[in-house]
Amino acid sequence: MLKKPVYMDYNATTPVDLRVLQEMLPWFSENFGNAASRTHVFGWKAAEAVDIARRQIADLIGCSDKEIIFTSGATESNNLALKGVFDTHRNKGNHIITIQTEHKAVLDVCLHLENLGASVTYLKPDNNGLISAKEIEEAIRPETILVSVMYANNEIGVIQPIAEIAEVCRKNKVIFHTDATQAVGKIETNVQKEGIDLMSFTGHKIYGPKGIGVLYVKKKINLIAQIDGGKHERGLRSGTLNVPGIVGLGKACEIAQAEMTSERVRLHQLRSRLESNILDNIPDSFVHAILSPRLDHLSNICFPKIDGENFLMSLRDLAVSSGSACTSASVEPSHVLKALNIDDNSAYSSIRFSLGRFTTQEEVDFAIGYIKKCYDAILSH
């Protein structure tokens, strides 16, 4: 029997996979040791578990386990990456390049750094949400120290040409960071092949726990730590390691790596079914950035004839969002859609559907019929 409300907000967060939970449970009680305790078996066991998880994570993104730095989540990873580079390289320059459609966890850090003397260029993507390597290259100046471009957008799912952008940065001796929160575990990401210097991601977007994240730091990339006290994580992130969270993230990465290919195919089919039926059933509706390479599980659909907030509130049996979970309390139109030259009314009337590991065809078919029913009810009033 269909369980309501139906969850279609997997880009905001995901349920912890039961296989992940089972892996984590012993590390809360039986194996409770501190991974930094080097004088007894409790600490040794915890340290070994952390080492195993590091390798699982490194295998997923194609790096050495020594390049994995644990944080509390992608927001902290972004802060460490951007602030760490700025503090380390401010003698060389103060210029940072990013794009207008970044998550607030990058944009707000850039605003903070501007107050400290950084000069930030916010490049505008095209109407399909894409930025080109050529545009990045044209924006680079002698004082440029960092480029930060999101791998895959959290609101519209657009996948940027990361390898091409990284190559431009390498050629110009500029450090390249990507917030890959929505990409890791969902599409293939390989930091070595793609030439990425710094990459942020988190556990709770890939069926792992909240409160644990990663910053990949390429060897020979220097950062100044933003948290002091103990010199943990190669001196880059002090604090007692969250062993249960780390174990859970490691297992989540292992599962994602094993199931990614088949899951992409399944979710692509479900997303296509959702989009085609909604566009057929609701006149004038359209999908944002449909011409760009997109994540297979995400669709941001505009319903221009109705008030978006009323529509969203009427969908009580469907958990969806109007954009980023971090800005969903805001009454402002989505900054991502505005950057695509979408007018305010269309931005307000857009809903993000993000499917996931536990989404079924029955749920998608329910959503199609339910959306049409609620849409017609609003139109008839």
Domains of the chain: 6-14+260-380 (3.90.1150.10), 18-255 (3.40.640.10)
User: Looking at the annotation, which residues are catalytic?
Assistant: 326
Q: Which residue has the higher pLDDT, 141 or 329?
A: 141
pLDDT per position as a tens digit, 255-308: 999 999 999 999 999 999 999 999 999 999 999 999 999 999 999 999 998 888
Distance CA 248, CA 209 (A): 6
DSSP designation for 152: B
In this prediction the pTM is 0.96
pLDDT per position as a tens digit, 293-323: 999 999 999 999 888 888 999 999 999 998 6
Distance CA 265, CA 187 (A): 11
At 179, which amino acid appears?
A: D
* Residue 329 banded pLDDT, cuts 50, 70, 90: low
State the greatest distance between any 2 C-alpha atoms of the chain, in Å, as a whole number: 72
pLDDT per position as a tens digit, 146-199: 999 999 999 999 999 999 999 999 999 999 999 999 999 999 999 999 999 999
Nearest to 15 by CA among 204, 298, 186, 211: 204
DSSP designation for 25: G
pLDDT per position as a tens digit, 95-115: 999 999 999 999 999 999 999
pLDDT, residue 286, reads 97
Phi, psi angle pair for 328, to nearest 5° = -70, -20
